[in-house]
Structure 1
Amino acid sequence: MAEVTLSVGGYQYKLACRDGEEAHLERLGEMVNAKAMEARNAVGNASEVRQLLLSALLFADETLEGSRGNTPVAAPAIPGQMTAALERLADRIELIATRVENLSQHS
């Protein structure tokens, strides 16, 4: 198992991937970082979670816009380790959202 460190939106993430997939994962990280920086420039200094959410929305918007034409946009293949990392991140986001909601209700 190889390990790659990605820099996304000013944060460092260590991810495991299959041997030989390092360059592909680094390229995906560069794409996500570009969107994260675009999101940061659009809304200012956002939290890590908000920045990644906005990055995902920018990617989704591009995909939707591309699919409105006759040529559908193919989503890049996501390595299994990246999928697991995204699922853990989604769980973290849900936990944070629940905590914020609970704080709001108790205020």
Structure 2
Amino acid sequence: MAELRITIGGREFDVACQEGEERYLTAAAAMLDTEAQSLSQQLGRIPEARMLLMAGLMLADKAAGAEDNVRQLRARVEELETQLAAARANPVKVEVPVLPAGVTETLAEIAARAEAMADRVEEAAAS
């Protein structure tokens, strides 16, 4: 077991945790300390047990809000996945108009004329 000294609300505590879990405990203690500091600033010095209880409740409230957000986001993801599956099952058909055969021939003729004119301009410029 690893032994750590953490500070919460200006008070130090010695705690133990499993080897390798130190950084998680330190991060959790920092979150609790942030809430405890906020309480200390608002209420002044309060008994240790009350400070820890209130800081824990504040964190629990934040966690409950985060869980609600996660639930809403999961519901939205499911809704979007359902819409995507429906769209894949029933693809929208788009009709692309086909150019009449005469148009392509006309465009080819215009391109040939443009090339011929470009050749004449180049010859005139070279002379």
TM range (shorter): 0.5 to 0.7
1:52 aligns to what?
52
Q: Which has the larger radius of gyration?
A: 2
1:97 aligns to what?
none
1:62 aligns to what?
62
1:66 to partner: Cα distance: 2.6
Question: Following the alignment from structure 1 to structure 2, what is the Cα–Cα distance between the partners of residues 34 and 27?
Answer: 11
Encode CA deviations 1:17-65: one digit per residue, 9 max, x unaligned.
1111111111111111111111112222111111111101211221233
Runs (4 or more) in structure 1 with deviation over 4 Å come to none
Question: Following the alignment from structure 1 to structure 2, what is the Cα–Cα distance between the partners of residues 71 and 36?
Answer: 30
> 1:34-49 counterparts in 2 under 5 A?
34-49=34-49
1:17 aligns to what?
17
Sequence identity percentage:
29
Question: Following the alignment from structure 2 to structure 1, what is the Cα–Cα distance between the partners of residues 6 and 15?
Answer: 8
Question: Following the alignment from structure 1 to structure 2, what is the Cα–Cα distance between the partners of residues 32 and 71?
Answer: 26
- Seen in structure 2, the aligned counterparts of structure 1 residues 62 and 3 have a Cα distance that, compared at 3 Å, is same
Structure 1 portions without partners, runs of 5+: 73-107
What one-letter code is carried by the residue in structure 1 that aligns with 2:24? H
Higher relative contact order (CA 8 A, sep 6+): 1
RMSD of aligned Cα (Å): 1.7
Q: How many residues align?
A: 72
1:94 aligns to what?
none
Higher helix proportion (structure 1 or 2) = 2
